[in-house]
Amino acid sequence: MSDIAYLNGEFMKLAEATVSVEDRGFQFGDGVYEVIRVYDMTPHLLREHIDRLKFSATSIHLDEWLSYDEWEKIVQEGISQSGYAEAKVYIQLTRGVAPRDHRFPCTTSLTRVMTVREVEPDDLQLRKTGVSVITAQDIRWNRCDIKSLNLLPNILAKQQAIQAGMFEALFVREGFVFEGSSSTVMVVSNGVLYTPAEGPRILSGITRDWVLSVARASEIKVVEEPVSVEMMLDAQEVLLTGTIIEIMPVVKVDEYCIGDGKPGKIYHRLYQKFLSSISELRYRHVCT
């Protein structure tokens, strides 16, 4: 078993993959990416991830012509070459290699990178205790719906959280919370699940979508509207969602305790549903 890379049509060991210093991804962050979780060798919600990759690419005028079927083949081949059953797949598209110039190059073709790495086992202790987060000022641009390589504000906010001994930083602007540095935020107030509506201020999380549809199917009322910081601090529960963290309960925001300081009922319900859908996936894999 080993970490695998795919670079412009070829598979290799991750350690052997190199990209030019003139790649626009390196020079300008001129590209987009996706992260996909693999459960038991099966990429989870692959179609949704590839659709979002294409949306991000189109939004920055990157001509990504590989079809879903072609991507599926590449992803499956990468997973099987790696041999990892539990893995994370990272896909990156950039505007290719060209002499450094802000203008788009005329002839360059894009760089396609994919890596497959093993995922560390889930930290069960965190799920039991819940996590603490900080709030950070949202200084990002107005196209957070594009999964762009430009992650400086996210990295700075996450580092601020880590240095404070916290799990995540939540972006706040003008009294409203939008999302985490690498996660979606949801709050439970009087049994209703609130989360900011999709739009240019947040990434349209694939896990967000999954959680909201499962919540609706479980007769949990879902409201997609702006969430004020005040409302979050008064909430019974705060949740983070994301491809790698799945669903994570938050028990403290800055110095304020959330609810009774323990992961709440809605978290447990939704996470149980998540686990059973994953075990169904594993079961289907065994049976096919």
Under rule CB under 6 A, residue 205 binds ligand PMP: yes
By the rule CB under 6 A, 148 interacts with ligand PMP? no
DSSP-assigned states of every residue in 213-231: HHHHHTT--EEES-EEHHH
Question: Strand pairing partners for 43?
Answer: 38
Of residues 92 and 183, the one with the C-beta less far from ligand PMP: 183
Q: Which of 182, 212, 238, 250 binds ligand PMP (CB under 6 A)?
A: 182
Task: Give the nearest distance from C-beta 123 to ligand PMP in angstroms.
Answer: 17
Minimum CB separation from ligand PMP for residue 195, in Å? Answer: 11
Cβ–Cβ under 8 Å, residues 79 and 94: no
Applying CB under 6 A, the span of 118-126, 128-136, 241-249, 266-274 interacting with ligand PMP comes to 241-249
Residue 195 interacts with ligand PMP (CB under 6 A)? no
Residue 206 contacts ligand PMP per CB under 6 A: yes
Residue 103: burial class (beta carbons within 10 Å; 0-12, 13-18, 19+): exposed
Element (H, E) at 162: helix 152-163
Spatial separation of the C-alpha atoms in residues 96 and 166, rounded to whole Å: 37
What span, in angstroms and rounded, lies between the C-alpha atoms of 94 and 200?
A: 21
Rounded least distance, CB 240 to ligand PMP, Å: 9
Q: Which amino acid is at 110?
A: L
Q: Which of 241, 249, 258, 270 binds ligand PMP (CB under 6 A)?
A: 241
> Is residue 43 a contact point for ligand PMP (CB under 6 A)?
no
Q: Which stretch binds ligand PMP (CB under 6 A): 2-10, 60-68, 125-133, 206-214?
A: 206-214
How far is 178 from 180, CA to CA, in rounded Å?
7
**With DSSP H G I counted as helix, E B as strand and the rest as coil, what are the percentages for the chain, rounded to 5?**
35, 30, 35
Q: In this chain, which of 203, 232, 238, 251 binds ligand PMP, going by CB under 6 A?
A: 203
Residue 178: exposed, middle, or buried by beta-carbon count in 10 A (0-12, 13-18, 19+)? buried
27 binds ligand PMP (CB under 6 A): no
The residues that are catalytic are: 147
**Minimum distance, C-beta of residue 164 to ligand PMP, in the bound complex (Å):** 19
- Min CB(260)–ligand PMP separation in Å: 27
Please report where in the chains the tokens 């919370």 appear, as a residue: 177
Q: Minimum Å distance from CB 211 to ligand PMP?
A: 9
Q: Does 208 bind ligand PMP (CB under 6 A)?
A: yes
Is residue 243 near ligand PMP by the rule CB under 6 A?
A: yes
Q: Which stretch binds ligand PMP (CB under 6 A): 9-17, 18-26, 127-135, 239-247?
A: 239-247
State how far the Cα of 255 lies from the Cα of 235, in Å rounded to an integer: 15
What order of strands is seen across the sheet that includes strand 111-118?
10-13, 4-7, 111-118, 87-94, 31-39, 42-43
Binding positions for ligand PMP, rule: CB under 6 A: 35, 154, 179, 182-184, 203, 205-208, 241-243
